[in-house]
Amino acid sequence: MDYIFHIIIMINIYIILSLSTNLLVGMTNLLSLGQAAFYGIGAYIAAFCLIYLKLSLLPALLMVMLITALLSLIIAIPTLKLKGDYFVLATLGFQLIVYTILYNWISVTKGPYGIPGIPSPVLFYSITINGITGFLILSSILSISVALIFYGLIKSPFGRVLKGIRDDEISVMAVGRNVTSFKIWAFVISSGFIGIAGFLYASYVSYIDPTSFNLDEAIFILAAVIIGGTGNIKGPVLGAVFVIVLPELLRFVGMPDSVASNFKQIIYGLSIVILMRLRPQGLAGEYAVK
Residue 287 DSSP label: B
59-68 average pLDDT score: 95
111-136 average pLDDT score: 85
Residues 6+ apart with CB under 8 A from 210: 40, 99, 102, 103, 109, 111, 112, 114
Between residues 220 and 288, which one has the greater pLDDT?
220
pLDDT in tens, 95-108: 999 999 999 999 99
77 pLDDT exceeds 80?
Answer: yes
147-161 average pLDDT score: 92
What is residue 200's three-state secondary structure? helix
Domain positions in the chain are: 2-210
127-131 average pLDDT score: 77
144-157 average pLDDT score: 93
Q: Across the strands, what pairs with 146? A: none
Supply the pLDDT for residue 260: 66
Q: Across the strands, what pairs with 230? A: 287
| Residue pair 130/120 in contact by the 8 Å Cβ criterion | yes
Q: What is the mean pLDDT of the chain?
A: 88
Which of 77-81, 112-116, 124-128 comes out lowest in average pLDDT?
124-128
What is residue 208's three-state secondary structure? strand
pLDDT in tens, 176-232: 888 889 999 999 999 999 999 999 999 999 999 999 999 989 988 998 898 888 888
- Going by pLDDT thresholds of 50, 70 and 90, the confidence category of residue 254 is low
pLDDT in tens, 266-278: 777 787 788 778 8
Q: 245: closest CA among 232, 228, 259?
A: 228
Q: Provide the strand spans (E) within the chain.
A: 122-124, 127-128
pLDDT in tens, 2-19: 888 999 999 999 999 999
Supply the pLDDT for residue 281: 78
Supply the pLDDT for residue 251: 72
Residues 6+ apart with CB under 8 A from 178: none
Whole-number percent of the chain with pLDDT over 70: 94
116 pLDDT exceeds 90?
Answer: yes
Supply the pLDDT for residue 175: 84
CA 228 → CA 35, 261, 262, 284, distances in Å? Answer: 17, 21, 21, 6
- Going by pLDDT thresholds of 50, 70 and 90, the confidence category of residue 247 is confident
243 pLDDT exceeds 80?
Answer: yes
